[in-house]
Structure 1
C-alpha cells in the first residue's frame, strides 16, 4: 500500500509539472502573438447622385484604365473561402496605378483596390455583432456579412473586362 501511495504521488507530481510547463510554453507563445487592433484608414464613401451607394445589385461604373503594374502572381484556380468573426482582413497597400474604393453595406465595409484588369481586397471589416466570410476565385471575389438570418454581400468580377462591383442587400 505504501509503495502504491509513493507511485501515485510521483505520478501526480510529474503530471502537474508537465501541465504547468506546457501551460507556460503555450502562454508565452500566445502572449507574444497578441497584437493591437489595426486602425482603419479613412476611405471616402462612394456616392451616386449625392446619396450613399446602397442600392441592391447595382453595378459600379468601370474605372478608367491605368498603366499596368508589374506582373503579380495569379490566383489559385479553385475558389477558397475564409471566415472571420471580428478582425478585419488586411492586404498590402495599393499602388499609384490603382484606385481604392470603399463599399459600406449593412453589416460591414469592404475596401477594394480596383485596377484596369483585376481587383483585390484591401480590407473587409464587419460591424459589431456581424460575421464575415470571403471567397476568392480566379477572376471574382465575394464578401458576405451575416448575422442571424441576414446576409449582405459585395461581389466583384473581372473576366476579360474591367472589374464590376455589385452589392446585394437582403
Structure 2
C-alpha cells in the first residue's frame, strides 16, 4: 500500500513538473511573437464631417446682425452641452479643419478588413485600417506610398496607395 502511494506521488510530481515546464516554454515563445498588441491609428481631433453640422457653406448674404430665420433655428440641432448654437455671424462658429491632403475620404473594404484613405490632389494619408476577425494587419508608410497588408493562414491581402509624380492611386492585391 505504501509503495503504491510513493509511486502515485512520484507520478504526480513528475507530471506537474512537465506541465509547468511546457507551459513556461510555450509562454516564453508566444509572448513576443504571436499575440502582438494591435496597432492603433491616430485620429484627428476635428471630425472631417459631422451629422450635427450644416454641410453647406454659409451664404455670403448673411450679415453679422442678421438672426437666423425660423426655419433655420427649428432645424438647427443643439450642441452636445444642451445649449443652442450661437446666432452670431457664420464665420464666428467653429468649423472643422479641412484635411491637409484634400478631404476626399474613401473606404476600401477587402476580404481581410477595411482601409480608409484621405486622398488629395498630390498626396494621401491613412485615416484608419481595421482587420477583420481572425486577420492580422501591418502598415508601412513612406514619403510617396502607404501599404496595408492583412494576413491569415498564409493568405495575404494588400492595399497600396501611391502618389509619386501623379495623383494618389489605390491598388488592391487579393490573389
- Choose 1 or 2 for highest CA Rg: 2
- Provide the TM-score with structure 1 as the length reference: 0.47
Name which structure has the greater RCO, CA cutoff 8 Å, separation 6+. 1
Larger proportion of strand: 1
